[in-house]
């Protein structure tokens, strides 16, 4: 019952969101603002976790494959493919669900409980569309770029780990990251991130937009937004992998 | 003119408004009074369309508002200004941007014209030179005045105020009341004010509607309240001993 209620309400909200904008220039300006607030402001965290994750993947692979029959350049290949296939899309999406998802839910929730959304409605503005559509567009445009950025700095993190620890030679690592490269994996990862970006923004917006009560309820909405976004990211990761790579 | 005709509203099994019929006239400050939980905020939200009525009609100058579709409702909403209890100013925008926002959204005015209009509205509410302040830098009374400035930015035909004096000291309350009265007369608006404040009732209530338990119990002018024999109304208005004393003095 609760599930169908939420699915119906979410669908109804999305119908309101995807309507013709009242004034395109206002939506355009809002989208640019959101690209900065939700996308560019996440570059730092993506950089830090990607570098360290790339380094850890490289070290883990190196310490767990000390076999003379396995060529050492496979460590570079492992780092590259782990970053491209899974980490830079799914893991980064989970982290962005925490950062961006809670940001969106708490922002919209606060606007709801302080009657700012009502004020927009009274003015005759389609508040759902004006507040949510620019966030969805901004995230769909910026998150795939963050994925590409994460791939580059993640592999760079692996290289740094190799340079500092000498688990293999940097030359072998560089050879490994170029070996048997399949460009479609990048496309696959970007497609996944586009879907994840939509899930994060729309689910978080749903919980924020329909918040009620006071600060406590806004906190609850924010937590629900992160938890449900994360669950749907994991679910769609399986579905998309089966659809795209099978 | 706004007419509320046989309006009822229920939440789950609870009836919040029961068959309310009342007319709010243009150029007058119409006050809706009643205890907390009596249904006056729900009535106001039904009138502006934030809540759907279950029965009855809301009529804006002959147009049945609650039966319009979203697009047609928008054209009437552009003529509505509303002052919310907490001001409901947009946190991320400055005072000037808050006032310019409806103009940005619905007009083709140039930047200069919009700034000029914003300055006019701010001057009208005695808030000049606050253009670049953010809402969190303003006091409660200042927020209300900026919210009024935003509400009148597009020259609305209808002005709604939900508890405009809540959280304000008596002196600031009088300033806000006076402002609402002046603007109503100046722009010939249909103004509806929800309030608990008896000073407001006596100062600006050219028409007063008293609601108790979701029903309209009494309506009249602020002067008529003093002579009313309605027991429920008298219990509410003359609740404290000083007010009771005044009432008895008038009676005798």
Any alpha helices (H) in chain B, and if so which ranges? Answer: 40-48, 70-77, 95-106, 111-124, 140-151, 170-187, 198-204, 222-225, 231-237, 241-251
Instruction: Check if A125 contacts B (Cβ < 8 Å).
Output: yes
Instruction: Check if B166 contacts A (Cβ < 8 Å).
Output: no
Evaluate whether residue A155 is within a structural domain: yes
Minimal CA separation from A7 to chain B, in Å: 21
How confident is the model at residue A95, as a pLDDT? 95
Contact yes or no for A115 and B48 at CB 8 A: no
Instruction: Check if A15 contacts B (Cβ < 8 Å).
Output: no
Contact yes or no for B104 and A122 at CB 8 A: no
Chain A residues 93-112 with CB within 8 Å of chain B: 110
- The closest CB to that of B88, out of A26, A115, A125, belongs to A115
How confident is the model at residue A21, as a pLDDT? 86
B152: helix, coil or strand? coil
Instruction: Check if B85 contacts A (Cβ < 8 Å).
Output: yes
DSSP lists the bridge partners of residue A206 as none
Evaluate whether residue A150 is within a structural domain: yes
Number of H helices, E strands in chain A: 11, 0
How confident is the model at residue A142, as a pLDDT? 96
- The closest CB to that of B88, out of A22, A119, A124, belongs to A119
Give dist(CA A88, CA A49) in Å, integer: 10
Q: What is the ipTM of this complex?
A: 0.85
Evaluate whether residue A113 is within a structural domain: yes
Angle at B144 between CA B143 and CA B147, to 5 degrees: 85
Chain A residues touching residue B70 (CB < 8 angstroms): 126
Minimal CA separation from B72 to chain A, in Å: 10
Minimal CA separation from A115 to chain B, in Å: 5
The number of angstroms, rounded, from the C-alpha of B218 to the middle of its chain's C-alpha atoms is 19
- The closest CB to that of B102, out of A116, A121, A123, belongs to A123
Give dist(CA A237, CA A91) in Å, integer: 10
Evaluate whether residue A8 is within a structural domain: no
Sequential pLDDT tens for chain B (252 residues): 899 999 999 998 889 999 999 999 998 899 999 888 888 889 999 999 989 999 999 999 999 998 988 888 888 888 899 998 888 999 999 999 999 999 998 888 999 999 999 999 998 888 888 999 999 999 888 898 899 899 988 889 999 999 888 878 888 888 888 888 988 988 899 999 998 888 888 888 889 999 988 899 889 888 888 888 888 888 888 777 777 777 777 767
Evaluate whether residue A2 is within a structural domain: no
How confident is the model at residue A1, as a pLDDT? 58
Query: For residue A207, what are the domain limits?
Result: 23-245
- Chain A residue nearest residue B83, CA to CA: A119
Instruction: Check if B78 contacts A (Cβ < 8 Å).
Output: yes
Evaluate whether residue A4 is within a structural domain: no
DSSP code string of B159-208: EEEESTTTT--HHHHHHHHHHHHHHHHHHT-EEEEEE--HHHHHHH-SEE
Instruction: Check if A2 contacts B (Cβ < 8 Å).
Output: no
Instruction: Check if A122 contacts B (Cβ < 8 Å).
Output: yes
Chain B residues touching residue A125 (CB < 8 angstroms): 105
Sequential pLDDT tens for chain A (246 residues): 588 999 999 999 999 999 988 888 999 999 999 999 999 999 999 999 999 999 999 999 999 887 888 899 999 999 999 999 999 999 999 999 999 999 999 999 999 999 999 999 988 899 999 999 999 999 999 999 999 999 999 999 999 999 999 999 999 999 999 999 999 999 999 999 999 999 999 999 999 999 988 889 999 999 999 999 999 999 999 999 999 988
Strands across the sheet containing B63-64: B14-24, B2-11, B55-60, B63-64
Return the exposure string of B210-236: e unless at least 16 CB atoms fall within 10 Å of the residue's CB, then b: bbbebbbbbbbebeebeebeeebbbeb
- Chain B residue nearest residue A21, CA to CA: B105
The number of angstroms, rounded, from the C-alpha of A32 to the middle of its chain's C-alpha atoms is 18
Place of tokens 């309506």: B219
Chain A residues touching residue B88 (CB < 8 angstroms): 114-116, 118-119
Minimal CA separation from B88 to chain A, in Å: 5
How confident is the model at residue B244, as a pLDDT? 73
How confident is the model at residue A224, as a pLDDT? 95
Evaluate whether residue A131 is within a structural domain: yes
Contact yes or no for A123 and B91 at CB 8 A: no
| CATH topology for the B2-79+157-251 domain | Rossmann fold (3.40.50)
Give the total number of structural domains in chain A.
Answer: 1
The secondary element (H helix, E strand) that includes residue B217 is strand B215-220
The DSSP 8-state label assigned to residue B87 in this structure reads -
Instruction: Check if B71 contacts A (Cβ < 8 Å).
Output: no
């Amino acid at each position: 019952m609760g599930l169908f209620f939420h699915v119906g309400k979410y669908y109804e909200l999305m119908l309101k969101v995807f309507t013709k904008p009242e004034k395109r220039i206002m939506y355009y300006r809002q989208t640019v603002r959101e690209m900065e607030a939700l996308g560019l402001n996440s570059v730092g965290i993506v950089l830090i976790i990607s570098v360290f994750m790339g380094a850890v993947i490289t070290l883990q692979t190196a310490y767990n494959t000390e076999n003379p029959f396995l060529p050492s350049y496979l460590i570079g290949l492992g780092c590259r493919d782990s970053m491209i296939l899974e980490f830079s899309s799914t893991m980064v999406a989970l982290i962005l669900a925490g950062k961006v998802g809670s940001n969106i839910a708490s922002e919209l929730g606060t606007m709801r409980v302080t009657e700012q959304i009502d004020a927009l409605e009274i003015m005759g503005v389609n508040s759902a569309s004006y507040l949510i559509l620019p966030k969805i567009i901004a995230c769909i445009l910026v998150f795939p770029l963050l994925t590409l950025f994460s791939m580059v700095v993640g592999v760079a993190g692996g290289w740094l780990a190799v340079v500092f620890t000498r688990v293999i030679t940097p030359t072998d690592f560089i050879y490994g990251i170029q070996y048997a490269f399949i460009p479609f994996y990048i496309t696959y990862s970007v497609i996944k991130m586009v879907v994840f970006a939509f899930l994060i923004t729309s689910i978080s917006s749903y919980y924020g937009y329909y918040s009620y009560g006071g600060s406590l309820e806004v906190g609850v909405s924010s937590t629900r937004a992160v938890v449900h976004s994360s669950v749907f990211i994991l679910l769609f990761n399986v579905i998309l992998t089966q659809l795209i790579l099978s | 003119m706004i007419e509320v005709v046989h309006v009822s509203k229920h939440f789950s099994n609870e009836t919040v408004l029961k068959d309310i019929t009342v007319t709010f006239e243009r150029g007058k400050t119409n006050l809706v009074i009643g205890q907390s939980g009596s249904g006056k905020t729900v009535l106001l939200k039904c009138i502006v369309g934030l809540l759907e009525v279950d029965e009855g009609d809301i009529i804006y100058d002959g147009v049945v508002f609650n039966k319009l579709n979203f697009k047609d409702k928008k054209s009437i909403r552009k003529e509505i200004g509303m002052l919310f209890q907490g001001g409901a100013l947009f946190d991320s925008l400055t005072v000037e941007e808050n006032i310019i926002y409806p103009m940005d959204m619905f007009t083709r005015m140039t930047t200069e014209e919009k700034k000029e209009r914003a300055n006019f509205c701010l001057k009208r509410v005695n808030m000049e030179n606050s253009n670049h302040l953010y809402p969190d830098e303003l006091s409660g009374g200042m927020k209300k005045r900026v919210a009024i400035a935003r509400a009148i930015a597009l020259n609305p035909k209808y002005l709604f105020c939900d508890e405009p004096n809540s959280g304000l000291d008596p002196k600031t309350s009088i300033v806000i009341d006076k402002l609402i009265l002046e603007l109503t007369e100046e722009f010939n608006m249909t103004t509806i004010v929800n309030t608990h404040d008896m000073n407001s009732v006596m100062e600006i209530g050219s028409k007063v509607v008293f609601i108790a338990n979701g029903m309209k119990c009494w309506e009249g002018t602020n002067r008529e309240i003093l002579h009313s024999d309605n027991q429920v109304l008298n219990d509410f208005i003359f609740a404290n001993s000083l007010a009771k004393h005044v009432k008895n003095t008038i009676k005798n």
